[in-house]
Amino acid sequence: MWDRIKADFSNWEAKNPIENTFINNCIFNADSLYESVAFVLSNKISTHLLIVQDWIQLFNKAYNNSDYLRTSLEQDLQAILDRDFACTRISDPLLHYNGFHGLQLQRLANYFFKNGIYATSSLIHDRMISCCSMDIHPAVPVGLGTVIDHGIGVVIGETARIGNNVFMYHNVTLGSNGTIGGDRHPTIEDDVLLGSNTSILGNITIGKGSAVAAGSIVTKSVPPEVLVAGNPAKEIGPAKEFQKKGH
């Protein structure tokens, strides 16, 4: 995949110092996809206090240690290229997509969370919010091949679970219903599509292959393969038609 990414720049010429520095550092100077994404993310989230060289080293070590981080990174990129109409080059999400950046930061935060390195996990979480306007709790397990399009306003709570091949637009809430503790957030099964500005609230399940139309509020579990819409959301047909194409 790294060769495909570099191929996007085979005849590239910088038009000014900004893009020259950026592409040279992030593409031409990296030895692997993992090194490239570690560099991109580190520069995005570093501050005066949380310095860039420390993030780079930390993230490179995490990618070296975790097969899941490397696999999910590749599959997320491929999923965007396959399903996002606006994406025609595989290097674009790597370099520029907010939703992709936020998701990879959550995957890194989750890696440290699972290894008991909580302060680091929380720092990455907080920087994800500041830099991507996305708030996904580090504890959330996220499946492979995930697309979070735009990502702004996405809020996903501590006990949520997300399956494989989920496609999610901006401003999606996977929240609690606000009255009980414990396991209080939704489970999103494989192949689900969540439209923009939707809220899924409480310890409920959105069944495999279902879709939630933009602007819906869902407070009860949804069976597989259906399309729901409205506030409160109701089943309005099968999900097939809605799901079968790109986005």
Q: Looking at residues 184 to 213 of the shown chain, list those that interact with a copy of itself (rule: CB under 8 A).
A: 184, 193, 195-197, 199, 201
Quick check: 222 binds a copy of itself (CB under 8 A)?
no
Q: Which is nearer to a copy of itself, 71 or 220 (CB)?
A: 220
Q: What is the spatial distance between Cα 69 and Cα 172, in angstroms, rounded to a whole number?
A: 23
Dig out the tokens for 175 from the structure.
């929240």
Q: Which is nearer to a copy of itself, 10 or 179 (CB)?
A: 179
Q: Which of residues 94-153 bind a copy of itself (CB under 8 A)?
A: 95-98, 117, 119-120, 122-123, 125-126, 129-135, 137, 150, 152-153
Q: What is the spatial distance between Cα 208 and Cα 114, in angstroms, rounded to a whole number?
A: 26
Q: State in angstroms the smallest separation of the CB of 87 from a copy of itself.
A: 10
List the end-to-end C-alpha distance of the chain, in Å, as a whole number: 22
Region near a copy of itself per CB under 8 A, out of 69-77, 140-148, 237-245: 237-245
What single-letter amino acid sits at 88? T
Q: Which of 217, 224, 235, 236 binds a copy of itself (CB under 8 A)?
A: 217
Q: Which of residues 41-100 bind a copy of itself (CB under 8 A)?
A: 42-44, 46-58, 85-86, 92, 95-98
CB-CB contact of 202 with 183 (8 Å)? no
Q: What is the spatial distance between Cα 72 and Cα 76, in angstroms, rounded to a whole number?
A: 6
Dig out the tokens for 137 from the structure.
């709790």
Cross-sheet strand order for the sheet of 199-201: 135-136, 155-156, 173-175, 199-201, 217-218
Quick check: 21 binds a copy of itself (CB under 8 A)?
yes
Q: State in angstroms the smallest separation of the CB of 10 from a copy of itself.
A: 14
Quick check: 161 binds a copy of itself (CB under 8 A)?
no
